[in-house]
């Protein structure tokens, strides 16, 4: 880099008038959205950049006007209902929680929005798909994502796969040209979609008979709301979406959801429950691993009763954390050494099943697994007992059946393991502080620990802020220090699939859930979400700051900017390879954020970081403005050779678990 | 039942419960037995039992650890810590019941456990538990991340 360029960059750091302008601009837009004011009020805002006056970033009047309009669902009378409107009616009656899309599949997304389903339009289909996934991970609700046939749909693929790995009930919608154009390669975007989602969906269908559009809506929601969830992919040729219906008799199987699917759930057999209770009685150190199914089925209250009655330890797993609070004396999420002492594990709703040796258990441990579908019992992990049951029903039955028992030695051992782990975390944090001071760059342990410390001590309510962490180095450190203390308080964006990049937009979807107070997010409306992510991830999600600002979804995105893909050590001893892992150094993601109407902060020291967090929180809470904090770091922090201990793998299950 | 059969039966029970992904036994003469365990990091561990010496030995419990390396010193310290009286009984390797030794031949670390009180089942179970903890606990330290990837040829994106 030339000296001139360095000088220019340094000047940017201290160019207060420009930064102030951008900040004011962003705050103005955010305030307008929060207050529902017409953005026209801001039309006169201009900035003086040197000799040139340019208009401020603003939200168009049409945007706000459109959001303020009343719902107008389709009806049979008059012009009749389109196929898309019939489908939208199904979605409305099924309480589809939100649609996250980019334009394309116009007939369908317009019908869903007109029906009154909360809809969000963004900048890329992949990121919007991650947003839908994030909303669902934070609530357990069914959400939808949509894109145009061809380019839009294929852009979604990575994040459909991530949702599939997380067992998210995600409705993937896409248009698909006209049936009449099949095989003609007619312009544009023709393609067979269903084969492309093979292996990354629970169910999928190309709708070809317009009269069956309601019926297939039923198929979709039956799959989304029964058993183990997963993505459902429907593609709509124009003949189906645009078909017109003037009378219910023109639609096949046009009946209510109470008839096309059931809310009945499998209850545990009494004989199975007796064996479960006996195995727990025989155990000195029992442990429940509460998976995604416990969150999906909202079994957390029963889980608490079971744990407390029997002094049974609990770990949670899955893409959503907090079904059991990390700071409960029986929680072993931050007590990795205690995991190795458990002599009985009860997997409840563990959809993504590890193999022995992948979880930090001892070889003597006995295993029970509770799962809603019989055919999955015994997969990967040989069982002492398999129980077919809905997760919540099982926990409720167990709460009634388990004997009240004190296991003081076990509780004491858990407390000791927690203390030892906290001591280790504190030592790594102190090392990180030292490295930060020594290099004038922020170490990831400092970022992660100080973020949680700020949530705990610097916010109005430490339960309100939902956090999530992604990236390689940043994600591994974030997992260790971030904590979940109530259901849905933490999201694991990289869960199982390991996608780098969707985390930022996923947390914007979480923000939508928090702002609306959906499901377990009720009562926390207004709080910003926090995402720790990496510079590598920026390429996938950064532009959605525009979306977050437009819709008033306050997010605080903390970018661990180490100038590289975090996996750069893989090139360290390989000739002519390193260049593929590196970015330009000192890129200014904060300035890019400012250009998108958000607040941008640039920090290099712990003190600057803490101050930036406080400003970001106030902006998010008070003005619904999102912030990106660019934490300048060094790639060498990843390496144990340069800055020991470098990265280390987190215990599974545990606070930093991502694999299962 | 011979002592070697007893050892084999205990190990086979672990295999049935999925602890080992593969298992075979080769009972030799003179009270000896050789057992192959497909286990952590998809390695085959060869466990030899010598009844006369009351000794269980895994010839290579962990590869590529030079004898003069800090890692080897750390490993020996970690193993010693497993015998600490402060550990709960279910986690401790009782020095009154078994003795533990390591040997390093060209970087291959052998682990030997000698039965001191005729409680062969205890010794077998402790050996299995020790190796399990070595892989899940000792090697999870960030200092050994690069070593793990290089030694076992792991996909760095899937080091678990």
Specify the higher pLDDT residue, A582 or A17: A582
Contact A505, A499 (CB under 8 A): no
What is each CA distance from B145 to A150, A203, A638, A645, in whole angstroms?
41, 39, 10, 9
**Is B156 a member of any domain?**
no
User: What fold characterizes domain A270-412?
Assistant: Rossmann fold (3.40.50)
Of A567, A648, A659, the CB nearest to B141: A648
Average model confidence (pLDDT) for chain A?
Answer: 92
Residue A189 has pLDDT above 70, yes or no: no
Segment A350-360 mean pLDDT: 95
- Minimum distance, in Å, between the CA of residue A604 and any CA atom of chain B: 24
Distance CA A525, CA A540 (A): 27
Percent pLDDT > 90 in chain A is 85
Q: Quick one: pLDDT at residue A175?
A: 87
Residue A362 has its nearest CB partner, among B16, B132, B149, at: B132
Q: Is residue B38 one of the residues assigned to a domain?
A: yes
Q: Does B19 contact A641 at a Cβ distance shorter than 8 Å?
A: no
- Specify the long-range contacts of residues A267-273, CB closer than 8 Å, at least 24 apart: A267/A389, A267/A390, A267/A393, A267/A394, A267/A397, A268/A370, A268/A387, A268/A388, A268/A389, A268/A393, A268/A394, A268/A397, A269/A387, A269/A388, A272/A385, A272/A387, A272/A388, A272/A389, A273/A387, A273/A397, A273/A398, A273/A401
pLDDT at A651 over 60: yes
Distance, in Å, from the CA atom of A565 to the CA atom of A635, rounded to the nearest integer, reads 8
Cis peptide before A402 (omega within 30 of 0): no
Q: How far apart are CA B14 and CA A42, in angstroms?
A: 70
pLDDT of A527-570, one tens digit each? 999 999 999 999 999 999 999 999 999 999 999 999 999 889 88
Question: CB-based burial of residue A187 (10 Å sphere; 0-12 exposed, 13-18 middle, 19+ buried)?
Answer: exposed
Min Cα distance B64 → chain A (Å) is 18
Question: Nearest CA to CA, how far is B40 from chain A (Å)?
Answer: 7
CB contact under 8 A, A364 and B129: yes
Domain range for B81? 3-151
Confidence class for position A21, pLDDT limits 50, 70, 90:
very low
Distance from CA of B110 to the nearest CA of A (A): 20
In the predicted structure, residue A416 carries a pLDDT above the cut 60: yes
Give the pLDDT score at B159.
66
Asked if the model's pLDDT at residue A18 lies above 60, the reply is: no
Q: CB count, 10 Å around CB of A463? A: 17
Instruction: Give how far B143 is from chain A: nearest CA, Å.
Output: 5
Task: Report CB contact under 8 Å: A646, B17.
Answer: no
pTM: 0.93
**pLDDT for position A360:** 96
Pairwise CB contact (< 8 Å): A648 & B136? no
SS3 at position B40: helix
Residue range B40-76, pLDDT digits in tens: 999 999 999 999 999 999 999 999 999 999 999 999 9
**Nearest chain B residue (CA) to A412:** B88
Q: How far is B9 from chain A (nearest CA, A)?
A: 14
pLDDT at A621: 98
| Interface residues of chain A, partner chain B, Cβ below 8 Å | 284-285, 337, 340-341, 343, 355-358, 360, 362-364, 380-382, 409, 413, 498, 567, 569-570, 639-641, 644-649, 651-652, 659
Q: For residue range A74-92, what is the model confidence (pLDDT) as tens digits?
A: 999 999 999 999 999 999 9
Of A240, A212, A224, A217, nearest in space to A82 by CA = A240
Q: Distance (Å, rounded) from C-alpha A40 to C-alpha A32?
A: 9
Distance from CA of A381 to the nearest CA of B (A): 7
The answer to whether the Cβ–Cβ distance between A356 and B128 falls below 8 Å is no
Q: Do the chains contact at A645 and B39, CB–CB below 8 Å? A: no
Confidence of residue A190 (pLDDT cuts 50, 70, 90): low
Report yes or no on B88 lying in a domain.
yes
Do residues A654 and A336 lie in contact, with contact meaning Cβ atoms separated by under 8 Å?
Answer: yes
* Separation in Å, CA A184 to CA A98, A180, A187, A238, A605: 35, 9, 9, 15, 60
- Asked if the C-beta of B157 comes within 8 angstroms of chain A's C-beta atoms, the answer is yes
Of B128, B157, B159, the CB nearest to A649: B159
Better-predicted residue by pLDDT, A506 or A566: A506
For chain A, which residues make up each domain, given as ranges? 70-260, 270-412, 441-634
- In angstroms, the CA A647 to CA A636 distance is 10
Counting Cβ atoms within 10 Å, is residue A347 exposed (0-12), middle (13-18) or buried (19+)? buried
Confidence of residue B106 (pLDDT cuts 50, 70, 90): very high
- CATH code: domain of residue B100: 3.30.1460
Smallest Cβ distance to A413: which of B16, B88, B133?
Answer: B88
Residue A356 is given by DSSP the state: B
Give me the pLDDT at residue B118, please: 93
Q: In this complex, is the C-beta atom of B156 within 8 Å of any C-beta atom belonging to chain A?
A: yes
Asked if A364 lies within 8 A of B159 by C-beta distance, the reply is no
Asked whether the domain spanning A270-412 has the same topology as the one spanning A70-260, the reply is yes
Calculate the alpha carbon distances from A175 to A143, A215, A235, A499 in Å: 17, 18, 5, 26
What would the CATH number be for the domain defined by A70-260? Answer: 3.40.50.970
Digit-coded pLDDT (tens) for A192-227 = 899 999 999 999 999 999 999 999 999 999 999 999
Best residue of B17, B47, B147 to probe chain A, by most A CBs closer than 10 Å: B17
> Do A341 and B39 lie within an 8 Å CB cutoff?
no
Residues of B in contact with A498 (CB under 8 A): 157-158
Please tell me the distance in Å from A638's CA to the nearest CA on chain B.
9
**Interchain CB distance below 8 Å, A340 and B91:** yes
B28: in domain: yes
Query: What is the pLDDT, as a whole number, of residue A184?
Result: 81
Give the pLDDT band of residue A2 (cuts 50, 70, 90).
Answer: very low
Size of interface A-B (CB pairs under 8 A): 82
Laid out side by side, the sheet with A232-236 consists of: A119-121, A99-101, A143-147, A170-175, A232-236, A203-206
The answer, for B5 touching chain A at a CB cutoff of 8 Å, is: no
Is residue A62 over pLDDT 50?
A: yes
Order of strands, edge to edge, in the sheet holding A627-632?
Answer: A320-321, A490-491, A467-469, A529-534, A555-561, A627-632, A599-603
In the prediction, which pLDDT does A1 show? 33
Decide if B70 is inside a domain. Answer: yes
Pick the CATH number of A441-634 from 3.40.50.1100, 3.20.20.70, 3.40.50.970, 3.40.50.620: 3.40.50.970
Contacting residues of A for B39, CB less than 8 Å apart: 357
Give the nearest partner residue to A640 out of B17, B91, B145, using CB atoms: B145
pLDDT tens for A318-340 read 999 999 999 999 999 999 999 99
B19 located within any domain: yes
Tally of domains within chain B: 1
pLDDT in tens, A96-111: 999 999 999 999 999 9
Kindly report the nearest CA distance between residue A384 and chain B, in angstroms: 9
- Per-residue pLDDT tens for A610-644? 999 999 999 999 999 999 999 999 999 998 889 99
Asked if B145 lies within 8 A of A364 by C-beta distance, the reply is no
Contact residues on chain B for A381, CB-CB shorter than 8 A: 18
A589-609 pLDDT tens trace:
999 999 999 999 999 999 999
The C-alpha atoms of residue A366 and residue A202 are separated, in whole angstroms, by 31
Residue A14 has pLDDT above 70, yes or no: no
ipTM over 0.90: yes
What pLDDT is stored for residue A53 in this prediction?
A: 84
* Residue numbers in B near A569 (CB within 8 A): 146, 156
Q: Give the model's pLDDT for residue A36.
A: 34
Residue A165: pLDDT above 70?
yes
Burial, A211: exposed, middle or buried (Cβ in 10 Å; 0-12, 13-18, 19+)? middle
Residues 79-98 of B with CB under 8 A from A: 88, 90-91
Whether residue B159 is contained in a domain is answered as no
Give the one of B136, B144, B160 whose C-beta lies nearest to A659's C-beta. B160
Would residue B114 count as lying in a domain?
Answer: yes
CA of A288 vs chain B CAs: smallest distance (Å)? 19
- Chain A interface test: which of B145, B151, B156 (most A C-beta within 10 Å): B145
Question: Is the omega angle on the peptide bond into residue A59 within 30 degrees of 0, that is, cis?
Answer: no
Cβ atoms within 10 Å, residue A48: 11
> Which among B18, B135, B149 has the least Cβ separation from residue A382?
B18
Mean model confidence pLDDT for chain B: 94
């Amino acid at each position: 880099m030339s000296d001139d360029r360095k000088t220019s960059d340094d000047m940017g750091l201290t160019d207060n008038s420009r930064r102030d302008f951008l900040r004011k601009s962003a705050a103005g837009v955010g305030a307008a959205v929060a207050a529902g004011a017409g953005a026209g009020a801001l039309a006169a805002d201009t900035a003086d950049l040197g000799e040139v006056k340019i208009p401020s970033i603003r939200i168009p009047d049409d945007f706000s006007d459109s959001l303020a309009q009343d719902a107008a669902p389709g009806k049979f009378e008059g012009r009749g209902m389109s196929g898309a409107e019939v489908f939208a009616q199904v979605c409305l009656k099924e309480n589809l929680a939100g649609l996250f899309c980019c334009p394309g599949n116009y007939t369908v997304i317009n019908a869903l929005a007109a029906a009154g389903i909360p809809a969000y339009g963004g900048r890329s289909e992949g990121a919007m798909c991650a947003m839908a996934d994030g909303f669902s991970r934070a609530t357990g609700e069914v959400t939808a994502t949509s894109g145009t046939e061809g380019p839009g749909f294929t852009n979604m693929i990575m994040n459909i796969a991530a949702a599939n790995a997380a067992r998210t009930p995600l409705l993937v919608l896409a248009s698909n040209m006209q049936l009449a154009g099949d095989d003609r390669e007619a312009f544009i975007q023709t393609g067979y979609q269903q084969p492309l989602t093979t292996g990354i969906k629970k169910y999928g269908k190309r709708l070809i008979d317009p009269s069956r559009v309601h019926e297939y809506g039923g198929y979709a929601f039956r799959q989304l709301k029964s058993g183990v969830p997963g993505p459902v992919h429907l593609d709509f040729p124009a003949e189906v979406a645009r078909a017109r219906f003037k009378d219910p008799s023109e639609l096949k199987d046009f009946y209510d959801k109470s008839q096309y699917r059931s809310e009945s759930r499998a209850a545990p057999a009494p004989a199975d429950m007796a064996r479960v209770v006996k195995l727990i009685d025989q155990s000195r150190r029992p442990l429940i691993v509460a998976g995604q199914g416990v969150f999906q089925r909202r079994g957390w209250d029963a889980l608490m009763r079971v744990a407390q009655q029997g002094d049974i330890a609990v770990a949670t797993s899955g893409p959503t954390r907090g079904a059991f609070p990390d700071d409960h004396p029986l929680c072993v999420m931050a007590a990795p050494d205690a995991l190795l002492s458990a002599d009985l594990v009860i997997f409840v709703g563990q959809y993504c099943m590890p193999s022995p040796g992948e979880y930090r258990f001892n070889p003597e441990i006995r295993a029970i697994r509770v799962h809603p579908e019989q055919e999955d019992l015994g997969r990967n992990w040989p069982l002492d007992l398999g129980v077919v049951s809905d997760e919540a029903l099982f926990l409720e039955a167990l709460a009634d059946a388990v004997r009240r028992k004190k296991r003081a030695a076990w509780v004491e051992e858990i407390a000791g393991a927690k203390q030892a782990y906290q001591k280790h975390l504190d030592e790594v944090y102190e090392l990180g502080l030292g490295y930060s001071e020594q290099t004038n760059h922020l170490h990831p342990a400092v970022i992660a620990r100080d973020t949680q410390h700020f949530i705990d001590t610097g916010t109005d309510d430490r339960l309100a802020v939902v956090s999530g962490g992604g990236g390689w180095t940043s994600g591994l450190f974030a997992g260790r220090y971030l904590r979940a203390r109530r259901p849905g308080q933490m999201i694991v964006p990289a869960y199982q699939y390991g996608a780098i990049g969707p985390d930022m937009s996923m947390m914007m979807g979480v923000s939508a859930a928090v702002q609306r107070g959906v499901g377990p997010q009720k009562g926390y409306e207004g709080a910003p979400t926090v995402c720790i992510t990496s510079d590598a991830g920026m390429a996938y999600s950064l532009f959605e700051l525009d979306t977050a600002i437009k819709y008033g979804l306050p997010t605080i995105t903390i970018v661990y900017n180490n100038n590289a893909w975090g996996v750069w050590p893989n090139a360290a001893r390989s000739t002519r390879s390193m260049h593929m892992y590196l970015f330009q150094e000192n890129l200014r993601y904060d300035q890019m954020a400012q250009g998108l109407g958000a607040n941008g902060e640039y920090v290099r020291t712990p003190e600057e970081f803490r101050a930036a967090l406080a400003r970001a929180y106030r902006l998010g809470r008070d003005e619904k403005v999102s912030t990106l904090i660019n934490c300048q770091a060094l790639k060498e922090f990843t390496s144990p050779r340069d800055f020991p201990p470098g990265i280390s793998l987190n215990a599974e299950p545990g606070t930093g678990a991502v694999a299962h | 039942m011979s002592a070697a059969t007893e050892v084999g039966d205990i190990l086979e029970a672990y295999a049935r419960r999925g602890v080992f992904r593969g298992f075979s036994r080769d009972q030799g003469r003179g009270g000896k037995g050789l057992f192959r365990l497909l286990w952590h990091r998809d390695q085959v561990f060869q466990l030899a039992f010598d009844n006369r010496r009351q000794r269980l030995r895994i010839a290579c419990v962990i590869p590529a650890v030079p004898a003069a390396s800090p890692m080897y010193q750390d490993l020996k310290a970690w193993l010693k810590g497993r015998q600490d009286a402060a550990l709960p009984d279910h986690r401790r390797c009782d020095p009154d019941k078994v003795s533990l030794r390591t040997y390093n031949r060209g970087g291959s670390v052998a682990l030997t456990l000698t039965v001191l009180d005729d409680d062969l089942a205890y010794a077998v179970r402790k050996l299995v538990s020790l190796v399990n903890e070595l892989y899940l606990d000792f090697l999870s330290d960030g200092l050994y991340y690069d070593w793990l990837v290089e030694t076992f040829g792991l996909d760095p994106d899937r080091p678990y």
